[in-house]
């Protein structure tokens, strides 16, 4: 198969509307992820007034907010941002696993792109490294959302 026959999405925002659902817990990291996501979207031409932002208490609550956003007709993709840092108990495993599982379920049930900008890390230092300007996972999730909006539109019209 040649590269020219591979159907791909692109990084053209067109008229797409994006929603960002972000958690408040570990906010100093999540704010950096949000900055990266907004910078990535606007750098590709997305207009700021076509990006909605909602905040939930923590990563556990993200799937419900994302589901509600994905059900809206005026939203084309949802970007989930959060940070779960391992502590001394099993709480990390429950929150991280169920958050990711819930986000995946929303994406499949809604048939809308839901991208994962939720860090699941062992240490604050790892979270800082993944939210810095040069390696920002919020930016990566935003660009993935833009690409998937384009790709799913192409797949639907094939």
Catalytic, out of 24, 91, 101, 154: 91
Place of tokens 């704010």: 31
Pick from 39, 23, 50: which is nearest to 118 by CA?
Answer: 23
Residue 11 is a catalytic residue = no
Look up residue 23 and give its DSSP letter: E
Angle, CA 125 vertex, CA 135 and CA 130 arms, to 5°: 20
Catalytic residue list: 91
């Amino acid at each position: 198969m040649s590269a020219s026959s591979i159907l791909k999405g692109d990084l053209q925002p067109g008229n797409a509307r994006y929603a960002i659902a972000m958690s408040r817990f570990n906010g100093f990291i999540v704010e950096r992820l949000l900055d990266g996501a907004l910078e990535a979207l606007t750098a590709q031409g997305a207009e700021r007034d076509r990006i909605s932002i909602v905040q939930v208490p923590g990563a556990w609550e993200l799937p419900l907010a994302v589901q509600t956003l994905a059900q809206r007709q005026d939203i084309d993709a949802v970007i989930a941002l959060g940070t779960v840092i391992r502590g001394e108990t099993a709480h990390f495993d429950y929150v991280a696993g169920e958050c990711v599982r819930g986000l995946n379920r929303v994406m499949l049930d809604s048939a809308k792109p839901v991208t994962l900008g939720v860090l699941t890390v062992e240490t604050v230092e790892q979270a800082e490294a993944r939210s810095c300007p040069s390696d920002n996972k919020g930016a990566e999730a935003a660009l993935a959302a833009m690409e998937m909006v384009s790709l799913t539109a192409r797949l639907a019209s094939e």
